[in-house]
Amino acid sequence: MKLFALLVLCALALLGACSSKKPAAESYSASLSPYNHTEDYIHQFYVDGAGGGNSRPFGGGGSFVCCISYPAKWHPGLSATVKWTTSSGNPADTKPEAALEQWHERVIPIDKYDIPGSTLNVHFLAEGDVRLVISSKGSGAKGYPGPDYPVKPPGWKW
């Protein structure tokens, strides 16, 4: 009887090992990539304390700074604190205040994602708005769920 019980326990252990699934990741990490849709120069930015570098007016993407952690599954209320400094991005603007860096800070909701991505794309928009998009695609790529790549307005020479 003991031998039978031992065989049953071994069989159950083997079945359990064969049927066990690797647990799903609870969180992922993503690189930060800025997209600047404004005429301001972004000297530095941070998302939940992780530094993201700088971004010229009407440009961005292509540069990545590591990393921020985010949950594997999106949920309502998911957000991040974004801090950044700006000054005029127009070299022809010679007013003294144009060169002064101004700090900004906002708590920004993270766009809904169904599939975790490798990059947190940070879109700096007009009037201090920011949009956070987690994706493995960059702005301008087919199927990218966020804003199009920044476009310089007609007559913008810088």
104: exposed, middle or buried (Cβ count in 10 Å: 0-12, 13-18, 19+)? middle
Model confidence pTM above 0.85:
no
C-alpha dihedral (134, 140, 142, 146), degrees to nearest 10: 40
Q: Mean of the pLDDT values across residues 68-73?
A: 94
The stretch 134-141 carries a mean pLDDT of: 94
Structure-token match 């993201």, residue found: 52
Q: CA 111 to CA 131: how far, in whole Å?
A: 7
Instruction: Express each pLDDT in 17-69 by its tens digit.
Output: 444 444 456 899 999 999 999 999 999 999 999 998 899 999 987 667 788 99
Spell out the residues 6+ positions from residue 37 whose beta carbon is closer than 8 angstroms to its own.
Answer: 58, 123, 124, 125, 126, 147, 150
pLDDT confidence of residue 96: 78
What is the reported pLDDT for 20?
Answer: 44
Residues in the chain: 158
